[in-house]
Structure 1
């Protein structure tokens, strides 16, 4: 069997197991990527979730000695939810981004890669392979771009002709020198809709992202959210879809090809107040299968409090007061204090002044003061 024939068999098999798109790239060093990564690092634009060793992200043979090629895969996920519950006056809801709908995509793609790996090793038993999804050493986007899966959009997502940017990416490094595919030329042109629409200005310029300003990153942090981002967060519980939603290439793109990716509306659009006191056990049972649950419940509860403040939900004041009095976590108490001031009911000032008398944590006291200042501005 020639390498070209093997490639065709891999393509056919990948389709049979539900891989929506597959591409092949050389395992040559990603030299241009290294320069960009160093720039990002020097500018302080990295999120901290990336592989720390830049060389491992650039040189595939540091991950797999004698690496010859990389197989990139993409799976399309839905962009529209069926039977989405409405957010009502006394039942306000938050929202998980589309990439956190359904079963954790890391699990889904890893299962596909395991099947693909087994198939390849049956064909070439002497081959060596290393697979990864999202948290691996290589840049999923750089690999997918080189392999012709799609082009790298100004919104820092891979955009495919077939599915837009609503795709999950994974890759497999191998010692087999498979024939490479041709990269797709950039097709964003002069469009800047994603840059213009970014709520926090995180897309510095086309293809360059300041991760520390990106709402998708901010929803995953565990500390107090900076004041300037609280208004921008809205009712987002995890992630942000704005730059994808405004992209012309995503217009009309909505694929329901994988049952395990279908969202449970009550899970991905949850009632905000129900998140406030959820136990660890109930959290794992309800949200544990989502990719958005990987940081635990604390960031999502903080975001839920900010979402309640966004809606100025007066029916939640009692719940927020309970958090301010009883929660052991300063970030939750402090965010609740700020939210009480933001909502601004007749009871808010009494609640915050009482909390100020008993609170010992300096950060929480500062948030109480923010809440009281918000009340002054509202003349309450």
Structure 2
């Protein structure tokens, strides 16, 4: 299946049915009174997150989604039938944006999440609602309201804990194959990876995290060169970025120059993505002679002016990969614990303020001797 991570659609909810002005005309009931029923409600359109879908390809070709209108009311107190709702199933991680005002309509982050995209119009009232002691033969009725119409942009941002950055042929696909269940295409030419790949990394039986690999970035990517820039959105939900560098490129280019180009393009694309926690992973050490490895690593770090965490690995032989995976998991666990503390702190503060704000003179609080 072709990977599609962006689409534009139009959703049109159903209009409400019109109410009707009708009067009872039955035998032995010459003045039966008003009996006009209400119109039915128009169908609404919902987005539903489905983890069994991983692409927006269905919405690339099916752009118009319209719900049925509600039926008009009828006599004999008959109400019109409501239009059926429509559910649009989308991958988990889909962001739905209103193209007219830029408002975020839905952010589907959990399986089964159901968000209203366009509300159906309410049905009109029949004349049965307008009868009174002074108006026994009302001829008033109301028409149904129009359903909402929206032009939407769908953006798929894969949900992953860790994202991989690097030049083409830096070894990202080999690394994700070595540490996870992902099996991307691996070859000795640039841009082997053409779309994002997700892999589940098992640290133990009950401990795991998700890692995402995107096509390699090249210099000028922010201006449209290469493939990776269009997939950078998939790294925006990650907690940690791994910058993988080929320490022994086959074309003898300077790895420091390539690493700086990646950082430059990252900053051009999104400042918040540039400021995400980022670790440096020096790959393909198996190609470097053993007596030169320490010197080459030290020279790279000095010229790159890097002060963050550094890991030396060989994705092909898997040397250093296990230690890196364990460090990633420990880091992610620390981040989750910090987020839990932040969520719990406001509740504790609120309860503390409630205790301090007790007025001793309040008659509700009585001191018992």
Quick check: TM above 0.5?
A: no
Which structure: greater strand fraction?
2
Larger Rg: 2
Structure of greater relative contact order (alpha carbons < 8 Å, 6+ residues apart) = 1
* TM-score (norm: length of structure 1): 0.29
* TM-score (norm: length of structure 2): 0.30
